[in-house]
C-alpha cells in the first residue's frame, strides 16, 4: 500500500532546529554558537526556541493525521477542505444479508439509487464500540468520547458516488444521539447497551425497546486480509460517504480511513430484531460475517448535494 505524499513540508526544517536546540543550549546572538554550561541567557534562549518549535510541530501534525497517509485504496480523491471529526471504531462486526430490492426500495428515498453487487442488494447489522471521538483541534468531550453503537444500513449511489444509507443508528449515549440528529440529520436512537469482551469474544446486547433488540456474541475466526478490488467484501465495506434525506434534499458526508483490515468471523446471535424495526424482513439464511478490531476514521462536514455534483456546506444546527 503506497503512502500519500506529505501534505506539508514545513516540519522537516522545524524538526532539524528542534534537534539542534535539544542537543545543546547555545548563544546565538552576535553570530556566536558557543556552549556555556552556566549561562542563564543561553538557557532562556534555548527554552524559548524549544517551545516555539514544539508549537510549530504540533500545528503541523494537526493537519497531517496518520489516517491520511494511505489514500490509494479510495475510489475517489480526498474531499477538499478540512476534516472536522475523528472517531475510532472498535470490535466491529459486519453481519450482511442479501435482501431483495423490492423490499428495500419503499424504505429508501426514491432519489437515491439502490447499489447492487451482481444484481443483489445487501443489508448490514453492525454492532461496535466507538472511542477517541473528538472535534478537530479539541480534546475529547465528556460523555461523547466513547460509547457503543449499532447500525442497520444498506448501500446506495447518488451522483456517481456509492455510499451508505442508514435505516437506524442506536447509541449508548443520549448526548451523542442528540448531537448526531442535530448536526448530521441521521436517524439515531438511544438504547441501553452493554458490551463485554472475554478471551477475544465480544458479548453484545442492545435494547432500544421491545421492537428493536440485538443480543449475541462474536469473534474473529481468521487472519487479517485486505480484500481485493472487485470482491464482494470490498464492495460491502469500502464506502467513503453516507447519505441522508431531509426536507426533500439529499445530504452527503464524506469520510476517510485506511482500507478495512477485515477478518472472517463467527457469531451466535440469539436475538436480532433491528432490521425488523425498520420494516425489513431478513432471510433465514446465515449472514456473511466479518470482523475488524480497530479503525481510525475521519469525517467531513455534512453537505447538501445540488444537481448531483455540487455541494454547499450545511450550517451545524444545535
Dist. CA 118–CA 48, nearest whole Å? 62
Residues of the chain with pLDDT > 90, as a percent, come to: 70
Q: Where are the beta strands (DSSP E) in 175-314?
A: 188-190, 192-198, 201-209, 212-220, 241-246, 249-256, 263-272, 288-306, 310-313
Q: What pLDDT does residue 122 have?
A: 98
Return the DSSP state at 298.
E
Distance, C-alpha 245 to centroid of its chain? 20
Helix (H, G, I), strand (E, B) or coil at 170: strand
Helix (H, G, I), strand (E, B) or coil at 214: strand
For residue 32, name the pLDDT band (cuts at 50, 70, 90).
very low
For residue 306, name the pLDDT band (cuts at 50, 70, 90).
confident
Q: What pLDDT does residue 138 have?
A: 87
DSSP labels for 88-143? EEEEEEEEEEEE-HHHHGGGS-TTSEEP-BTTBEEEEEEEEEEEEEEETTSPPPTT
- Average pLDDT score, the chain: 84
Q: What pLDDT does residue 48 have?
A: 53
Q: What pLDDT does residue 15 have?
A: 42
| Residues 116-140: tens digit of each pLDDT | 999 999 999 999 999 999 999 888 8
Dist. CA 39–CA 27, nearest whole Å? 9
For residue 90, name the pLDDT band (cuts at 50, 70, 90).
very high
Lowest mean pLDDT among 78-82, 121-125, 265-269: 78-82
- Whether 313 shows a pLDDT value over 90: the answer reads no
The DSSP bridge partners found for residue 162 are: 157
Q: Exposed (0-12), middle (13-18) or buried (19+): which is 199, by Cβ within 10 Å?
A: exposed
For residue 13, name the pLDDT band (cuts at 50, 70, 90).
very low
- Whether 9 shows a pLDDT value over 90: the answer reads no
Q: What pLDDT does residue 197 have?
A: 95
Q: Per-residue pLDDT averaged across 226-255, rounded?
A: 96
Measured CA to CA in angstroms, residue 38 lies from 34, 41, 55, 285 at distances of 12, 9, 26, 78
The residue behind cell 428515498 is 109
Number of Cβ atoms within 10 Å of the Cβ of 209: 11
* Higher-confidence position of 126 and 45: 126
Q: What pLDDT does residue 162 have?
A: 97
Q: What pLDDT does residue 318 have?
A: 35
Lowest mean pLDDT among 41-45, 122-126, 159-163, 180-184: 41-45
Amino acid at each position: 500500500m503506497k503512502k500519500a505524499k506529505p501534505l506539508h513540508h514545513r516540519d522537516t526544517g522545524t524538526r532539524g532546529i528542534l534537534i539542534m536546540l535539544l542537543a545543546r543550549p547555545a548563544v546565538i546572538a552576535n553570530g556566536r554558537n558557543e556552549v556555556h554550561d552556566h549561562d542563564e541567557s543561553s538557557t532562556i534562549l534555548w527554552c524559548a526556541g524549544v517551545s516555539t518549535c514544539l508549537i510549530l510541530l504540533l500545528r503541523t501534525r494537526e493537519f497531517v493525521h496518520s489516517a491520511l497517509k494511505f489514500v490509494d485504496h479510495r475510489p475517489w480523491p480526498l474531499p477538499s477542505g478540512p476534516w472536522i471529526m475523528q472517531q475510532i471504531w472498535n470490535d466491529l462486526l459486519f453481519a450482511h444479508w442479501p435482501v431483495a430490492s423490492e423490499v428495500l426500495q419503499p424504505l429508501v428515498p426514491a432519489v437515491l439509487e439502490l447499489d447492487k453487487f451482481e444484481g443483489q442488494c445487501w443489508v448490514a447489522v453492525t454492532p461496535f464500540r466507538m472511542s477517541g471521538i473528538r472535534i478537530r483541534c479539541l480534546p475529547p468531550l465528556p460523555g461523547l468520547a466513547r460509547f457503543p453503537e449499532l447500525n442497520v444500513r444498506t448501500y446506495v449511489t447518488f451522483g456517481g458516488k456509492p455510499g451508505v444509507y442508514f435505516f437506524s443508528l442506536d447509541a449508548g449515549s443520549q448526548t451523542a444521539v442528540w448531537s448526531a440528529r442535530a448536526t448530521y440529520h441521521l436517524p439515531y436512537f438511544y438504547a441501553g447497551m452493554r458490551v463485554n469482551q472475554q478471551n477475544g469474544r465480544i458479548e453484545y446486547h442492545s435494547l432500544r425497546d421491545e421492537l428493536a433488540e440485538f443480543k449475541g456474541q462474536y469473534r474473529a475466526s481468521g487472519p487479517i486480509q485486505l480484500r481485493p478490488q472487485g470482491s464482494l467484501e470490498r464492495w460491502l465495506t469500502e464506502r467513503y460517504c453516507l447519505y441522508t434525506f431531509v426536507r426533500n434534499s439529499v445530504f452527503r458526508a464524506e469520510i476517510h480511513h485506511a482500507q478495512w483490515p477485515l477478518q472472517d468471523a463467527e457469531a451466535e446471535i440469539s436475538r436480532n430484531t433491528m432490521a425488523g424495526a425498520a420494516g425489513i424482513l431478513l432471510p433465514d439464511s446465515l449472514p456473511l460475517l466479518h470482523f475488524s478490531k480497530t479503525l481510525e476514521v475521519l469525517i467531513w462536514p455534512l453537505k447538501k448535494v445540488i444537481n448531483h455534483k455540487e455541494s454547499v456546506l450545511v450550517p451545524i444546527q444545535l
